[in-house]
Amino acid sequence: MSDKHPVTALLQAWRVGEESALEQLTPLVYEELRKRAGYLFSGESAGHTLQPTALVNELYGRLVDVEVDWQDRAHFYALCSRIMRHILVDHAKAGRATKRGGNMLIVSLDETGIVENASEAQHRQTETEDLISLDQALQQLATLDKRKAELVEMQVFGGLSFREMGVVTGLSESTLDRDLRFARAWLRSRLATPSV
């Protein structure tokens, strides 16, 4: 195994059926995933019904059943971004059904792509929207430009850096920056338009 990228080596070993690889992989990626999930909840109230640890645990439950040809660490975290998005949207929809508008994350389309807490978001109402609205807008963007929607998903829900997104997509940093700027502007415009 390469000392440089043990996660990649373990993912590849897990892919070919080495059960011990998953046991070794879990502690290596668990804390990183929990940290990335923590960004989604930074500043949220302690009473929020879904916490980073619960999100990562549910993510693990879904990963076990996924048949993926793991390429490397960056691809793993990109897939985790997509699964976290689905978990959070499902949770938000369930919360909305239980109590219309209650207990939802507020998301921001700022330069970092990181979710803000609700008190910070109140100061930036024009740049924030609830998770379900963002998910719907991302679905619309994906019909127009799937790559840009996937980049937003990787950055916002997975916390992937430009370097990691570059590994996954093969795009240069300047192309990633341009695509993400366009996607954020398009999403802000779409989210600012009231639904009919």
What are 84-130's pLDDT values in tens digits? Answer: 989 988 887 777 655 544 455 555 556 555 444 444 434 333 233 47
pLDDT in the model for residue 15: 81
Task: State the residue range of the domain holding 124.
Answer: 6-192
Q: Angle between the 73-98 and 6-15 helix axes, to the nearest 10 degrees?
A: 80
**For the chain, what is the mean pLDDT?**
78
Q: What is the mean pLDDT of residues 127-155?
A: 87
pLDDT for residue 98: 55
The verdict on residue 73 lying in a domain is yes
In a domain, 147, yes or no: yes
Comparing 52-61, 145-154, 181-190, the range with the smallest average pLDDT is: 52-61
Task: Work out how many domains the chain is built from and give that number.
Answer: 1
Backbone angles phi, psi at 130, to 5 degrees: -75, 165
CA separation for the pair 124, 103 (Å, rounded): 19
Q: Is residue 40 in some structural domain? A: yes
Average pLDDT, integer, range 35-50: 66
Q: What is the pLDDT confidence band of residue 147, given thresholds at 50, 70 and 90?
A: very high
Q: ∠ CA 18-22-26 to the nearest 5 degrees?
A: 165
Smallest CA-to-CA distance from 38 within 103, 96, 114 is with 114
Q: Is residue 1 part of a domain?
A: no
pLDDT value, residue 108: 58
Percent of the chain at pLDDT > 90 equals 30
Confidence of residue 4 (pLDDT cuts 50, 70, 90): low
Residue 29 domain-assigned (yes or no): yes
Residue 121 lies in a domain: yes
Q: What is the 3-state secondary structure (H, E, C) of the chain?
A: CCCCCHHHHHHHHHHCCCHHHHHHHHHHHHHHHHHHHHHHHCCCCCCCCCCHHHHHHHHHHHHHCCCCCCCCHHHHHHHHHHHHHHHHHHHHHHHHHHCCCCCCCEEECCCCCCCCCHHHHHCCHHHEEEHHHHHHHHHHHHHHCHHHHHHHHHHHHHCCCHHHHHHHHCCCHHHHHHHHHHHHHHHHHHHHCCCC
